[in-house]
C-alpha cells in the first residue's frame, strides 16, 4: 500500500543526476492507469541518432518495441518492475488501443499551431505527448472500422497525420529516444486516475479543420 500511495509523487521526482525516474512513470501508467506498457529498444549507445535494433534505417530510433515484442505489453506490476529494474533507461512504450488510449499525431510545428487554434475554439483536450519532431494527442480507443468511416467522410485529410490505434504504439514521457526526449505538452492532471481523453472524431474533425482552414501545412514525416 505504501508503494501505491507514493507512486504518483515519485512520477514527478528526479534522481540526483536530474533524470526522471522511468520505473516510477512506467508503474503509474501500468498499475494506476491500466495502460499496457513495455520497454522500448533504446537508442544505440554508439550513436543516439541510431536505433539499437538491427535496422540501420530505423525511423523511430529507440522509440519502438523489439525484444520483447509489442504483444508482451502488460499492466502487471511485477513484470513492469522487473523490466525497468534490469533496463532502467529503456524508453516507455504504450501499446495503443484495446483498453488503452489511442493517439492522433502530427509534426510538431503544425501541432503547436493546431493546439493554439483549438484552445481559441474552447475545445477540451486530454494529454498531449511531445517528441522533438511530432506531437501526439491522446484519444479514446477506436476500431479500424470506426477510423476508416471517419476518414472516408472527409474531403481531405493531411498526409502528415498519423493514427496510433489497435496494434500500434507510442513512446511516453519521460523517455529518451534517438530523436531526443519525450515530454508532456499537456500533462495529465496531478493525482488523477486514468486521464480523460476525447473521442477520435472530435480531434480529427478539429485538427483537419484547423489545418485546412488556416493553411497550416507540414511535411509528411
pLDDT at 106: 92
Q: In this structure, are residues 41 and 66 in contact, taking their beta carbons and an 8 Å threshold?
A: yes
pLDDT at 209: 81
pLDDT at 44: 64
CB-count burial class (<10 Å; 0-12, 13-18, 19+) for 159: exposed
Size of the chain, expressed as the number of residues it contains:
221
CA 54 centroid distance within chain: 23
CA 195 centroid distance within chain: 13
- Reference 105, options 64, 135, 149; nearest CA is 135
Q: Within 13 Å, how many C-alpha atoms sit on residue 217's CB side? A: 4
How is residue 82 written as a grid cell? 522487473
Question: Is 9 a residue whose pLDDT tops 60?
Answer: no
Lowest mean pLDDT among 37-46, 128-137, 198-207, 208-217: 208-217
pLDDT at 19: 44
188 prior amide bond cis, ω within 30 = no
pLDDT at 43: 67
* pLDDT tens readout for residues 76-114: 999 999 999 999 989 999 999 998 999 999 999 889 988
- How far apart are alpha carbons 130 and 112 in whole angstroms? 10
Eight-state DSSP code of residue 72: G
- Between 92 and 9, the more confident residue is 92
Question: Is 8 a residue whose pLDDT tops 60?
Answer: no
Q: What SS3 class is residue 27?
A: helix
Eight-state DSSP code of residue 135: E
pLDDT at 135: 96
Question: Is 16 a residue whose pLDDT tops 70?
Answer: no
- The confidence band for 37, taking pLDDT boundaries of 50, 70 and 90, is very high
pLDDT at 10: 39
Question: Is 5 a residue whose pLDDT tops 50?
Answer: no
Question: Is 51 a residue whose pLDDT tops 60?
Answer: yes
CA angle 112, 199, 119 (to 5 degrees): 35
Q: In this structure, are residues 90 and 148 in contact, taking their beta carbons and an 8 Å threshold?
A: no
List own/partner pairs for 211-214 with CB under 8 A and 24 or more apart. 211/106, 211/110, 211/114, 211/158, 212/156, 212/158, 214/113, 214/117
CA distances from 15 to 22, 93, 171, 191, 210 (A): 10, 21, 21, 21, 40
Amino acid at each position: 500500500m505504501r508503494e501505491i500511495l507514493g507512486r504518483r509523487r515519485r512520477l514527478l521526482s528526479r534522481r540526483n543526476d536530474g533524470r526522471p525516474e522511468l520505473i516510477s512513470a512506467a508503474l503509474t501508467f501500468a498499475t494506476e492507469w491500466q495502460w499496457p506498457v513495455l520497454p522500448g529498444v533504446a537508442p544505440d549507445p554508439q550513436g543516439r541518432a541510431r536505433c539499437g535494433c538491427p535496422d540501420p534505417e530505423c525511423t523511430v530510433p529507440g522509440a519502438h518495441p523489439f525484444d520483447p515484442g509489442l504483444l508482451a505489453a502488460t499492466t502487471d506490476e511485477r513484470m513492469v518492475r522487473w523490466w525497468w529494474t534490469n533496463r532502467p533507461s529503456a524508453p516507455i512504450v504504450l501499446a495503443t488501443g484495446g483498453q488503452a488510449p489511442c493517439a492522433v499525431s502530427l509534426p510538431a510545428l503544425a501541432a503547436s499551431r493546431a493546439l493554439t487554434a483549438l484552445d481559441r475554439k474552447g475545445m477540451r483536450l486530454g494529454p498531449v505527448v511531445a517528441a522533438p519532431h511530432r506531437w501526439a494527442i491522446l484519444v479514446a480507443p477506436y476500431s479500424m472500422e470506426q477510423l476508416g468511416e471517419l476518414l472516408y467522410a472527409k474531403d481531405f485529410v493531411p498526409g502528415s497525420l498519423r493514427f496510433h490505434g489497435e496494434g500500434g504504439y507510442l513512446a511516453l514521457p519521460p523517455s529518451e529516444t534517438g530523436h531526443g526526449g519525450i515530454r508532456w505538452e499537456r500533462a495529465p492532471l496531478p493525482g488523477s486516475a486514468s486521464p480523460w481523453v476525447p473521442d477520435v472524431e472530435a480531434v480529427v474533425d478539429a485538427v483537419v479543420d484547423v489545418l485546412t482552414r488556416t493553411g497550416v501545412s507540414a511535411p509528411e514525416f
